Amino acid sequence: MKKILYFNFLAIILTYVSLLYQKNILVARIVVDKLEKVEVIAGGFPLQFLIDGETSPVGSISINPLFIFIGMDQFVFLNFFIDYLFWISILFAFSMIVKKYRIV
């Protein structure tokens, strides 16, 4: 049980740290009475789960957890969950390799 909690905690931390990986993506936004694709910055790896919001300063995403929950930036829960599953599977695979070869 303790190992499962440890893996979950590490996966959430790694998912949060993945916000440091930022790139520009195209999103649909209303620009002067019509819907257009606009290039904005987004963070997360392998999928971007935090997208620069319309009310936040341009060209920045808020890594502060409080601002994420306030809603200045757009939080995509499905992408966050997929990133979390990615990191927990990486941790599990690493754990199995270490256990098999007794590396550490």
Residue 97: pLDDT band with limits 50, 70, 90: very high
- Mean per-residue pLDDT, 30-47: 88
Residue 104 has pLDDT above 70, yes or no: no
Q: How far apart are CA 79 and CA 25, in angstroms?
A: 14
Residue 38 has pLDDT above 80, yes or no: yes
pLDDT score recorded for residue 103: 64
Q: How far apart are CA 93 and CA 104, in angstroms?
A: 14
Beta-strand ranges (E) seen in the chain are 22-31, 34-43, 50-51, 74-75
Residue 18: pLDDT band with limits 50, 70, 90: very high
